[in-house]
Amino acid sequence: MTFQVKDFRSIVLAMINHAKATQDKVTDFHVGSVVRTLFEAPAVEIDEFYQQVFRGLLDAIPVAVYKAFDHDLLPPAYASGFVRFWAKEKTDKAIVIPAGFEIYREDSDVKYATRDAVTLAAGTSYIDARVTALTIGTAGNADIGVLSIMSSAIESITSISNPKPVTGGRDHETESERKNRFLEFITSLSRGTVPSIIYAAKLATVTNAEGEIAEYVTRVGIDEGPGYMDVYIYGSGGTPSNELIRKAQFIIDGGYDESTGELVPGYRGGGVSVLVSPIVEQSVDFDIQLKMLNDQYKTDEIQEEIETALHNTLLSVKAGENISIAELRTVVLSIPGVSKVIFDMETNVECAANHVLNIGKLHVEWL
């Protein structure tokens, strides 16, 4: 028998019908009568009990399903990205940027640290180093150009900056996000299919020494043909690290996991070659003309805000899709102070399966 929620009126009428069927001494059940009032008092509490049980079931059933399939809420993750170290001039000797070197930002107290040591080769003027926020969650996300303070001086390094936003920082997963992830899991139950390979690639993560997520897969592109499937992944901090690529490949292929001592079944179909590669960043250059409400908006800060908005919009374009100039124009016009924008391009911007769009050079002409 299914569970049915009875409302207040139904509960009162059921009491009255029972009273009519079992005795004949009390006959006045009209609204306002003493007997009906005595029935209505417990009916209020019973109605509340029905509502509480119903709401409890609505919460408990999804949780029970998620628990059965090991789908707990995902923990928060650190933001990551790249910081560019500039030398005063082309150096005549190599400069080592050590791992763990701390970097500060202009607009908050959040700190960042380089993940690996990198070397600025002799004869070059800059080097990009992968950095991770030291504060977990969305607080670590940063716009273009705000990471500009070094914790200590490095010989021959004159300035630093992040040429692209630092992204990937996330808080605890929400219930709606878990629901969407569970739906993707259901589509992956039939392994060997494209949806299952996409889901498997998204399972790859890189953790730090404390077991917290430092890097994860944010998007997946697929190029398939008879007997092969090329999988392209993009990390939470941009171009994925070799470790993230290796973990995605292992989850798809399956095999013996030395860390757990268990056999991992894998997701690819038998006889199908699957190769995981990094998504290539496709820079899009813009020449735009801007008319502002007044001259006080013609600042570098506004230009950086426009650059960040365009970058985030391009980053949201999925593999195989395109974005129109009209959509980009809307993005720029949403920036406070912009009254008119003209793009020096006419065609839509397309994103291939193995590419991710991001901002390249932005040239602004003030009208």
pLDDT tens digit string along 9-18? 999 999 999 9
- Give me the pLDDT at residue 119, please: 92
The sign of the dihedral angle between the CA atoms of 157, 144, 235, 193 is negative
DSSP class of 257: E
> Burial level of 64, CB count in 10 A (0-12/13-18/19+)?
exposed
Q: Give the strands of the sheet with 273-278, arranged side by side.
A: 205-207, 213-225, 228-235, 273-278
> Does residue 3 carry a pLDDT above 80?
no
The domain limits of the chain are: 8-68, 80-161, 175-278, 283-366
> Does residue 69 carry a pLDDT above 90?
no
Helix residue ranges, H only, the chain: 8-22, 34-68, 175-187, 194-202, 242-253, 300-315, 325-333
Average pLDDT of 49-73?
Answer: 86
Q: What are phi and psi of 123, to 5 degrees?
A: 90, 0
Nearest alpha-carbon partner for 284 in 320, 318, 319, 323? 323
SS3 content of the chain, % helix, strand, coil (to 5): 30, 30, 35
Average pLDDT of 111-127?
Answer: 91
- Give me the pLDDT at residue 232, please: 94
- Give me the pLDDT at residue 56, please: 85
The pLDDT-based confidence of 65 (bands split at 50, 70, 90) is confident
Instruction: Kindly state the tokens that stand for 7.
Output: 């409302």
Nearest alpha-carbon partner for 94 in 136, 154, 152, 41? 154
pLDDT averaged over every residue in the chain: 89
| CA–CA dist 308, 49 (Å, integer) | 52
- Give me the pLDDT at residue 1, please: 57
Percent of the chain with pLDDT over 70: 99
Instruction: Kindly state the tokens that stand for 160.
Output: 């630093």
> Does residue 32 carry a pLDDT above 80?
yes
Query: Is 138 within 8 Å of 77 (Cβ atoms)?
Result: no
- Give me the pLDDT at residue 205, please: 92
Verdict on whether the full-model pTM lies above 0.85: no
The sign of the dihedral angle between the CA atoms of 291, 293, 294, 299 is negative
- pLDDT tens, position by position, 199-242: 999 999 998 888 888 899 998 989 888 989 999 999 988 889 99
Average pLDDT of 256-269?
Answer: 86
| CA–CA dist 342, 249 (Å, integer) | 44
How many angstroms separate the Cα of 5 from the Cα of each of 8, 14, 63, 262, 296? Answer: 10, 13, 21, 47, 62
- pLDDT tens, position by position, 311-365: 889 988 888 788 998 999 999 999 989 999 999 888 888 888 888 888 888 888 8
- pLDDT tens, position by position, 80-106: 999 999 987 777 788 899 999 999 998
Strands 228-235 and 273-278: parallel
The pLDDT-based confidence of 110 (bands split at 50, 70, 90) is very high
Cα 66 from chain centroid (whole Å): 20
- pLDDT tens, position by position, 263-295: 888 898 888 999 999 998 888 899 999 998 888
- Give me the pLDDT at residue 242, please: 92
- Give me the pLDDT at residue 17, please: 92
Q: What is the DSSP string of 156-214?
A: TEEEEE-SS-BB--B-SPPHHHHHHHHHHHHHTSSTTSHHHHHHHHHT-EEE-TTS-EE
> Does residue 247 carry a pLDDT above 90?
yes
> Does residue 77 carry a pLDDT above 70?
yes
> Burial level of 175, CB count in 10 A (0-12/13-18/19+)?
exposed
